Amino acid sequence: MHYLSHPAAIRDADVSVPGDKSVSHRAIMLGSIAEGVTEVHGFLAGEDCLATMSAFRSLGVTIERPAATQLVIHGVGLHGLQAPDADLDLGNSGTAMRLMAGVLAGQNFAATLTGDESLTGRPMQRIITPLSRMGADIGSRDGRPPLVIRGNPDLEGIDYALPMASAQVKSAILLAGLYARGRTTVAEPAVTRDHTERMLRAMGVAVDTTDSRIGVLGPATLQASRVDVPADLSSAAFVILAALLADEAEILIRDVGVNPTRTGVVDILQAMGASISLENARDMGEEPVADIRVRSSTLRGIDVDPALVSLAIDEFPVLFVAAAVADGSTRFTGIGELRVKESDRIAAMAAGLRALGIRVEESDDGALVHGGRFSGGQVQSFGDHRIAMSLAVAGTVADGPVTVRDVTAVETSFPGFETCLKQIGADIVCRQDAPA
Protein backbone atom coordinates (compact mmCIF):
# COMPACT_ATOMS: atom_id res chain seq x y z
CA MET A 1 0.00 0.00 0.00
CA HIS A 2 1.01 3.61 -0.43
CA TYR A 3 -0.07 7.07 0.70
CA LEU A 4 -0.94 9.81 -1.74
CA SER A 5 -0.58 13.13 0.08
CA HIS A 6 -1.74 16.33 -1.60
CA PRO A 7 -1.03 19.90 -0.51
CA ALA A 8 -3.87 20.89 1.80
CA ALA A 9 -5.12 23.71 4.00
CA ILE A 10 -4.81 22.45 7.57
CA ARG A 11 -7.59 23.98 9.67
CA ASP A 12 -8.44 24.62 13.31
CA ALA A 13 -9.54 21.44 15.07
CA ASP A 14 -9.97 19.63 18.38
CA VAL A 15 -8.76 16.02 18.01
CA SER A 16 -7.64 12.89 19.83
CA VAL A 17 -5.02 10.29 18.91
CA PRO A 18 -4.79 6.61 19.93
CA GLY A 19 -3.39 5.32 23.21
CA ASP A 20 0.28 5.21 24.11
CA LYS A 21 2.04 2.21 22.63
CA SER A 22 4.73 1.95 25.31
CA VAL A 23 2.19 2.01 28.15
CA SER A 24 -0.09 -0.47 26.34
CA HIS A 25 2.73 -3.00 25.92
CA ARG A 26 3.69 -2.75 29.57
CA ALA A 27 0.09 -3.00 30.78
CA ILE A 28 -0.27 -6.39 29.09
CA MET A 29 3.06 -7.70 30.35
CA LEU A 30 2.81 -6.53 33.95
CA GLY A 31 -0.89 -7.30 34.18
CA SER A 32 -0.18 -10.85 33.02
CA ILE A 33 2.36 -11.57 35.77
CA ALA A 34 0.45 -9.70 38.49
CA GLU A 35 -1.80 -11.25 41.11
CA GLY A 36 -5.45 -10.50 40.32
CA VAL A 37 -7.36 -8.86 37.48
CA THR A 38 -5.98 -5.80 35.70
CA GLU A 39 -8.33 -3.60 33.66
CA VAL A 40 -6.76 -1.56 30.89
CA HIS A 41 -8.61 1.42 29.42
CA GLY A 42 -7.42 3.35 26.36
CA PHE A 43 -5.40 0.38 25.03
CA LEU A 44 -3.72 0.95 21.66
CA ALA A 45 -5.21 -1.61 19.28
CA GLY A 46 -2.23 -1.39 16.91
CA GLU A 47 -0.56 -4.45 15.46
CA ASP A 48 2.47 -4.24 17.79
CA CYS A 49 0.37 -4.30 20.96
CA LEU A 50 -1.97 -6.94 19.55
CA ALA A 51 1.10 -9.11 18.94
CA THR A 52 2.07 -8.72 22.61
CA MET A 53 -1.46 -9.65 23.66
CA SER A 54 -1.39 -12.74 21.45
CA ALA A 55 1.99 -13.79 22.88
CA PHE A 56 0.78 -13.66 26.47
CA ARG A 57 -2.34 -15.58 25.56
CA SER A 58 0.00 -18.22 24.15
CA LEU A 59 1.77 -18.21 27.52
CA GLY A 60 -1.47 -19.21 29.24
CA VAL A 61 -2.87 -15.81 30.26
CA THR A 62 -6.59 -15.16 29.85
CA ILE A 63 -7.03 -11.71 28.29
CA GLU A 64 -10.55 -10.53 27.51
CA ARG A 65 -11.22 -7.63 25.17
CA PRO A 66 -14.73 -6.32 25.83
CA ALA A 67 -14.10 -3.27 23.65
CA ALA A 68 -11.48 -2.29 21.07
CA THR A 69 -9.53 -0.20 23.58
CA GLN A 70 -10.33 -2.12 26.76
CA LEU A 71 -8.66 -5.24 28.16
CA VAL A 72 -9.35 -7.42 31.17
CA ILE A 73 -6.21 -9.36 32.08
CA HIS A 74 -6.45 -12.27 34.50
CA GLY A 75 -2.96 -12.25 36.00
CA VAL A 76 -1.25 -15.56 36.68
CA GLY A 77 1.37 -14.24 39.07
CA LEU A 78 5.12 -14.19 38.72
CA HIS A 79 5.44 -17.95 38.16
CA GLY A 80 2.14 -18.80 36.46
CA LEU A 81 3.13 -18.48 32.81
CA GLN A 82 3.12 -21.69 30.76
CA ALA A 83 5.37 -22.95 27.99
CA PRO A 84 3.98 -21.93 24.59
CA ASP A 85 3.12 -24.52 21.95
CA ALA A 86 4.82 -22.53 19.17
CA ASP A 87 7.22 -19.69 18.55
CA LEU A 88 5.97 -16.29 19.76
CA ASP A 89 5.68 -13.99 16.72
CA LEU A 90 6.02 -10.35 17.77
CA GLY A 91 5.65 -8.89 14.30
CA ASN A 92 7.45 -5.57 14.04
CA SER A 93 7.80 -4.81 17.75
CA GLY A 94 11.25 -4.35 19.20
CA THR A 95 9.69 -3.22 22.49
CA ALA A 96 7.76 -6.48 22.82
CA MET A 97 10.79 -8.62 22.04
CA ARG A 98 13.21 -6.91 24.39
CA LEU A 99 10.82 -6.61 27.32
CA MET A 100 9.43 -10.13 26.91
CA ALA A 101 12.98 -11.46 26.93
CA GLY A 102 13.31 -10.05 30.44
CA VAL A 103 10.09 -11.74 31.58
CA LEU A 104 10.96 -15.07 29.95
CA ALA A 105 14.50 -15.10 31.36
CA GLY A 106 13.17 -16.11 34.78
CA GLN A 107 10.77 -18.87 33.69
CA ASN A 108 11.22 -22.64 34.10
CA PHE A 109 10.62 -23.32 30.39
CA ALA A 110 12.03 -22.40 26.99
CA ALA A 111 10.40 -20.09 24.45
CA THR A 112 11.39 -18.64 21.10
CA LEU A 113 10.75 -15.00 20.18
CA THR A 114 10.62 -14.14 16.50
CA GLY A 115 9.13 -11.48 14.24
CA ASP A 116 8.97 -10.03 10.76
CA GLU A 117 11.91 -9.32 8.46
CA SER A 118 12.57 -5.92 10.03
CA LEU A 119 12.50 -7.19 13.62
CA THR A 120 14.71 -10.21 12.92
CA GLY A 121 17.35 -7.81 11.63
CA ARG A 122 17.51 -5.67 14.78
CA PRO A 123 20.32 -5.95 17.36
CA MET A 124 19.50 -7.92 20.51
CA GLN A 125 22.98 -8.46 21.97
CA ARG A 126 22.30 -5.42 24.14
CA ILE A 127 19.76 -7.49 26.13
CA ILE A 128 21.44 -10.87 25.68
CA THR A 129 24.57 -9.71 27.52
CA PRO A 130 22.97 -8.51 30.78
CA LEU A 131 20.29 -11.24 30.88
CA SER A 132 23.00 -13.87 30.40
CA ARG A 133 24.96 -12.36 33.28
CA MET A 134 21.85 -12.88 35.40
CA GLY A 135 21.81 -16.58 34.48
CA ALA A 136 19.54 -16.78 31.43
CA ASP A 137 20.50 -18.95 28.47
CA ILE A 138 19.67 -17.09 25.25
CA GLY A 139 20.43 -18.33 21.76
CA SER A 140 20.38 -15.99 18.76
CA ARG A 141 21.54 -15.57 15.21
CA ASP A 142 24.72 -13.55 15.75
CA GLY A 143 22.93 -11.35 18.26
CA ARG A 144 19.78 -11.02 16.19
CA PRO A 145 16.38 -12.77 16.41
CA PRO A 146 14.96 -15.31 16.62
CA LEU A 147 15.81 -15.48 20.32
CA VAL A 148 15.67 -18.90 21.96
CA ILE A 149 15.26 -18.16 25.68
CA ARG A 150 15.82 -21.07 28.04
CA GLY A 151 14.48 -19.64 31.26
CA ASN A 152 16.24 -19.98 34.59
CA PRO A 153 14.12 -19.64 37.76
CA ASP A 154 17.35 -19.08 39.73
CA LEU A 155 18.38 -15.75 38.24
CA GLU A 156 20.77 -13.56 40.22
CA GLY A 157 20.44 -9.81 40.52
CA ILE A 158 23.15 -7.70 38.88
CA ASP A 159 24.44 -4.13 38.87
CA TYR A 160 24.59 -3.16 35.21
CA ALA A 161 25.70 0.03 33.48
CA LEU A 162 23.97 0.53 30.15
CA PRO A 163 26.53 1.23 27.41
CA MET A 164 23.90 3.38 25.67
CA ALA A 165 20.65 4.94 26.80
CA SER A 166 17.76 2.56 26.08
CA ALA A 167 14.44 2.27 27.91
CA GLN A 168 13.88 -1.13 26.30
CA VAL A 169 17.13 -2.58 27.62
CA LYS A 170 16.62 -0.99 31.04
CA SER A 171 13.11 -2.43 31.22
CA ALA A 172 14.21 -5.90 30.13
CA ILE A 173 16.76 -6.03 32.97
CA LEU A 174 14.31 -4.68 35.57
CA LEU A 175 11.65 -7.21 34.52
CA ALA A 176 14.18 -10.03 34.85
CA GLY A 177 15.09 -8.51 38.23
CA LEU A 178 11.56 -9.21 39.44
CA TYR A 179 12.47 -12.92 39.28
CA ALA A 180 16.06 -12.68 40.49
CA ARG A 181 17.51 -13.16 43.94
CA GLY A 182 18.77 -9.95 45.41
CA ARG A 183 18.93 -6.44 44.02
CA THR A 184 19.06 -5.66 40.33
CA THR A 185 20.28 -2.16 39.49
CA VAL A 186 20.56 -0.42 36.13
CA ALA A 187 22.67 2.71 35.62
CA GLU A 188 21.78 4.70 32.52
CA PRO A 189 24.01 7.28 30.81
CA ALA A 190 21.02 9.52 29.97
CA VAL A 191 17.42 9.68 31.11
CA THR A 192 15.07 7.35 29.20
CA ARG A 193 11.32 6.82 29.38
CA ASP A 194 10.25 5.48 32.76
CA HIS A 195 6.87 3.87 32.05
CA THR A 196 8.09 0.53 33.43
CA GLU A 197 9.16 2.02 36.74
CA ARG A 198 5.90 3.97 37.12
CA MET A 199 3.72 0.94 36.40
CA LEU A 200 5.75 -1.31 38.68
CA ARG A 201 5.22 1.16 41.53
CA ALA A 202 1.48 1.29 40.75
CA MET A 203 1.44 -2.51 41.11
CA GLY A 204 3.14 -2.46 44.49
CA VAL A 205 6.79 -3.03 43.56
CA ALA A 206 9.37 -0.89 45.34
CA VAL A 207 11.52 0.77 42.68
CA ASP A 208 14.53 2.73 43.89
CA THR A 209 15.63 5.68 41.78
CA THR A 210 18.76 7.53 42.81
CA ASP A 211 20.38 9.88 40.32
CA SER A 212 20.83 7.72 37.20
CA ARG A 213 20.41 4.37 38.96
CA ILE A 214 17.17 2.37 39.02
CA GLY A 215 16.82 -0.76 41.16
CA VAL A 216 14.38 -3.48 42.19
CA LEU A 217 14.68 -6.17 44.85
CA GLY A 218 13.63 -9.64 43.79
CA PRO A 219 11.79 -11.79 43.87
CA ALA A 220 8.91 -9.30 43.83
CA THR A 221 5.14 -9.69 43.73
CA LEU A 222 2.91 -7.50 41.55
CA GLN A 223 -0.68 -6.64 42.50
CA ALA A 224 -3.21 -6.02 39.74
CA SER A 225 -4.42 -2.45 39.25
CA ARG A 226 -6.43 -0.41 36.78
CA VAL A 227 -4.32 1.10 33.98
CA ASP A 228 -5.58 4.17 32.12
CA VAL A 229 -3.52 4.63 28.96
CA PRO A 230 -3.00 8.26 27.87
CA ALA A 231 -2.94 9.30 24.22
CA ASP A 232 0.44 8.65 22.59
CA LEU A 233 2.72 11.69 22.30
CA SER A 234 4.59 9.94 19.47
CA SER A 235 1.35 9.80 17.47
CA ALA A 236 0.36 13.33 18.51
CA ALA A 237 3.70 14.49 17.07
CA PHE A 238 2.41 14.01 13.52
CA VAL A 239 -0.61 16.22 14.22
CA ILE A 240 1.66 18.76 15.91
CA LEU A 241 3.89 18.76 12.83
CA ALA A 242 0.98 19.28 10.42
CA ALA A 243 -0.28 22.22 12.49
CA LEU A 244 3.14 23.85 12.70
CA LEU A 245 3.71 23.60 8.94
CA ALA A 246 0.29 25.03 8.06
CA ASP A 247 -0.27 28.65 7.03
CA GLU A 248 -2.69 29.44 9.82
CA ALA A 249 -4.13 26.79 12.12
CA GLU A 250 -4.69 26.16 15.81
CA ILE A 251 -5.18 22.57 16.94
CA LEU A 252 -5.91 21.11 20.36
CA ILE A 253 -4.96 17.46 20.99
CA ARG A 254 -6.69 15.95 24.00
CA ASP A 255 -5.42 13.80 26.87
CA VAL A 256 -1.84 13.29 25.67
CA GLY A 257 0.76 11.61 27.85
CA VAL A 258 3.41 14.19 28.74
CA ASN A 259 5.72 12.04 30.81
CA PRO A 260 8.87 14.21 31.18
CA THR A 261 11.00 11.34 29.89
CA ARG A 262 9.08 11.59 26.59
CA THR A 263 8.67 15.32 25.88
CA GLY A 264 11.96 15.98 24.11
CA VAL A 265 10.12 16.49 20.82
CA VAL A 266 8.16 19.37 22.35
CA ASP A 267 11.32 20.91 23.84
CA ILE A 268 13.17 20.70 20.52
CA LEU A 269 10.30 22.12 18.48
CA GLN A 270 9.86 24.96 20.96
CA ALA A 271 13.58 25.73 20.64
CA MET A 272 12.95 25.98 16.87
CA GLY A 273 10.24 28.58 17.48
CA ALA A 274 7.15 26.38 17.63
CA SER A 275 4.07 27.66 19.46
CA ILE A 276 3.18 24.65 21.59
CA SER A 277 1.56 24.87 25.01
CA LEU A 278 0.42 22.25 27.53
CA GLU A 279 -2.97 22.86 29.14
CA ASN A 280 -5.14 21.16 31.75
CA ALA A 281 -2.18 19.25 33.19
CA ARG A 282 -3.16 16.35 35.45
CA ASP A 283 -2.28 12.75 36.28
CA MET A 284 -3.85 9.67 34.73
CA GLY A 285 -2.87 6.97 37.18
CA GLU A 286 0.92 7.18 37.39
CA GLU A 287 1.29 9.06 34.09
CA PRO A 288 1.15 12.87 33.65
CA VAL A 289 -1.31 14.00 30.97
CA ALA A 290 -2.20 17.31 29.32
CA ASP A 291 -4.01 18.79 26.35
CA ILE A 292 -1.57 20.11 23.76
CA ARG A 293 -2.36 23.33 21.88
CA VAL A 294 -0.39 23.98 18.69
CA ARG A 295 -0.39 27.06 16.49
CA SER A 296 1.19 27.42 13.06
CA SER A 297 4.70 28.77 13.46
CA THR A 298 7.74 29.93 11.53
CA LEU A 299 10.51 27.53 12.50
CA ARG A 300 14.24 28.29 12.59
CA GLY A 301 17.18 25.95 12.28
CA ILE A 302 19.09 25.07 15.44
CA ASP A 303 21.78 22.76 16.73
CA VAL A 304 19.68 20.17 18.56
CA ASP A 305 20.89 19.57 22.11
CA PRO A 306 22.26 15.97 22.26
CA ALA A 307 21.01 15.79 25.86
CA LEU A 308 17.46 15.72 24.49
CA VAL A 309 18.03 12.78 22.14
CA SER A 310 16.94 10.04 24.56
CA LEU A 311 13.79 12.05 25.37
CA ALA A 312 12.73 12.20 21.70
CA ILE A 313 14.20 9.02 20.25
CA ASP A 314 11.04 7.98 18.37
CA GLU A 315 10.17 11.44 17.06
CA PHE A 316 13.24 12.27 14.99
CA PRO A 317 11.51 11.58 11.64
CA VAL A 318 9.04 14.33 12.61
CA LEU A 319 11.93 16.60 13.61
CA PHE A 320 13.68 15.99 10.28
CA VAL A 321 10.58 17.23 8.44
CA ALA A 322 10.37 20.27 10.72
CA ALA A 323 14.04 20.99 10.02
CA ALA A 324 13.41 20.72 6.29
CA VAL A 325 11.05 23.74 6.33
CA ALA A 326 12.89 25.78 8.96
CA ASP A 327 14.77 28.97 8.16
CA GLY A 328 18.45 28.02 8.07
CA SER A 329 20.00 24.68 8.89
CA THR A 330 19.40 22.20 11.68
CA ARG A 331 22.15 19.95 13.01
CA PHE A 332 21.35 16.61 14.65
CA THR A 333 24.13 14.82 16.55
CA GLY A 334 24.22 11.83 18.88
CA ILE A 335 21.36 10.07 17.11
CA GLY A 336 23.26 6.99 15.91
CA GLU A 337 20.67 4.77 17.66
CA LEU A 338 18.27 5.70 14.84
CA ARG A 339 20.29 3.56 12.45
CA VAL A 340 19.03 0.37 14.17
CA LYS A 341 15.33 1.18 14.50
CA GLU A 342 12.65 -0.30 12.22
CA SER A 343 14.81 1.13 9.44
CA ASP A 344 18.01 3.13 9.34
CA ARG A 345 16.03 6.26 10.11
CA ILE A 346 18.88 8.69 9.42
CA ALA A 347 19.42 7.25 5.94
CA ALA A 348 15.70 6.80 5.28
CA MET A 349 14.81 10.37 6.19
CA ALA A 350 17.79 11.75 4.29
CA ALA A 351 16.71 9.83 1.18
CA GLY A 352 13.09 10.92 1.54
CA LEU A 353 13.90 14.58 2.06
CA ARG A 354 16.36 14.62 -0.84
CA ALA A 355 13.69 13.11 -3.10
CA LEU A 356 11.51 16.09 -2.16
CA GLY A 357 14.19 18.66 -2.96
CA ILE A 358 15.77 19.18 0.49
CA ARG A 359 19.54 19.18 0.97
CA VAL A 360 20.72 16.79 3.70
CA GLU A 361 24.25 15.88 4.77
CA GLU A 362 24.60 12.64 6.74
CA SER A 363 27.17 11.68 9.34
CA ASP A 364 27.61 8.44 11.26
CA ASP A 365 25.54 9.64 14.21
CA GLY A 366 23.64 12.59 12.81
CA ALA A 367 22.66 14.83 9.92
CA LEU A 368 22.65 18.43 8.80
CA VAL A 369 19.32 19.42 7.25
CA HIS A 370 19.13 22.62 5.20
CA GLY A 371 15.74 24.29 5.23
CA GLY A 372 13.87 24.74 1.95
CA ARG A 373 10.61 23.83 0.24
CA PHE A 374 9.23 20.41 -0.53
CA SER A 375 8.71 19.51 -4.15
CA GLY A 376 6.23 16.82 -5.03
CA GLY A 377 7.61 13.38 -5.70
CA GLN A 378 7.78 9.74 -4.75
CA VAL A 379 9.51 8.52 -1.61
CA GLN A 380 10.13 5.21 0.15
CA SER A 381 9.22 4.54 3.77
CA PHE A 382 11.42 1.40 3.92
CA GLY A 383 8.55 -0.27 5.76
CA ASP A 384 8.96 2.08 8.72
CA HIS A 385 5.73 3.48 10.16
CA ARG A 386 7.24 6.71 11.47
CA ILE A 387 9.05 7.44 8.20
CA ALA A 388 5.80 6.86 6.28
CA MET A 389 3.72 9.20 8.44
CA SER A 390 6.36 11.94 8.61
CA LEU A 391 6.77 12.09 4.84
CA ALA A 392 3.00 11.98 4.34
CA VAL A 393 2.69 15.07 6.54
CA ALA A 394 5.44 16.74 4.50
CA GLY A 395 3.16 16.27 1.51
CA THR A 396 0.57 18.61 3.05
CA VAL A 397 2.86 21.58 2.34
CA ALA A 398 4.69 20.31 -0.76
CA ASP A 399 4.52 22.00 -4.16
CA GLY A 400 2.83 18.90 -5.59
CA PRO A 401 1.52 15.48 -4.59
CA VAL A 402 3.80 13.18 -2.59
CA THR A 403 3.55 9.41 -2.90
CA VAL A 404 4.88 7.44 0.07
CA ARG A 405 5.52 3.76 -0.70
CA ASP A 406 5.15 0.76 1.62
CA VAL A 407 2.96 2.15 4.41
CA THR A 408 1.38 -1.06 5.77
CA ALA A 409 3.40 -0.80 9.00
CA VAL A 410 1.52 2.36 10.07
CA GLU A 411 -1.08 0.01 11.58
CA THR A 412 1.54 -1.08 14.12
CA SER A 413 1.34 2.23 15.99
CA PHE A 414 -1.31 4.61 14.62
CA PRO A 415 -4.43 2.85 13.35
CA GLY A 416 -6.68 5.46 11.76
CA PHE A 417 -3.82 7.83 10.88
CA GLU A 418 -5.42 9.06 7.64
CA THR A 419 -8.80 9.55 9.34
CA CYS A 420 -7.24 11.58 12.14
CA LEU A 421 -5.29 13.76 9.73
CA LYS A 422 -8.42 14.27 7.62
CA GLN A 423 -10.09 15.82 10.67
CA ILE A 424 -7.59 18.67 10.54
CA GLY A 425 -7.90 19.15 6.78
CA ALA A 426 -5.10 16.94 5.43
CA ASP A 427 -5.62 15.18 2.09
CA ILE A 428 -3.83 11.86 2.69
CA VAL A 429 -5.34 8.73 1.19
CA CYS A 430 -4.14 5.15 1.43
CA ARG A 431 -4.24 3.17 -1.79
CA GLN A 432 -3.44 -0.36 -2.81
CA ASP A 433 -0.37 -0.67 -4.99
CA ALA A 434 -1.10 -1.45 -8.62
CA PRO A 435 -0.40 -5.08 -9.62
CA ALA A 436 3.11 -5.62 -10.91
Which of 89, 267, 291, 314 is catalytic? The answer is: 314
Distance CA 323, CA 228 (A): 34
For residue 305, the one-letter residue type is D
Active site residue 305: no
Query: Which residues belong to the active site?
Result: 314
